[in-house]
Amino acid sequence: MKTTILSIDGMHCDGCVQVVQHLLEQQVGVNGCSVSLDSKQARIAHDADQVSAETLAEALRAAGYKASPTES
């Protein structure tokens, strides 16, 4: 199990947080995540063999958010 932290720009409210969390939780290999509006970050527990940090970020970018992995 790997933990990835994504920096996310474009979240403006609790609704955005819920959308981001839902998008991440729908990815194959994600076991759970927490999203913070204050820190503009998501912490994702996932199976690195099933989904990469870049794939997680791309899923958010496809939804209109600016997302990039940070060092964990």
- Domains, the chain, ordered by start: 2-70 (3.30.70.100)
> What would the pLDDT profile of 15-27 be if each residue is shown by its tens digit?
999 999 999 999 9
C-alpha dist (Å) from residue 40 to 16, 48, 66: 11, 22, 10
The angle that helices 53-62 and 14-25 make with each other, rounded to 10 degrees, is 130
pLDDT in tens, the chain (72 residues): 999 999 999 999 999 999 999 999 999 999 999 999 999 999 999 999 999 999 999 999 999 999 999 865
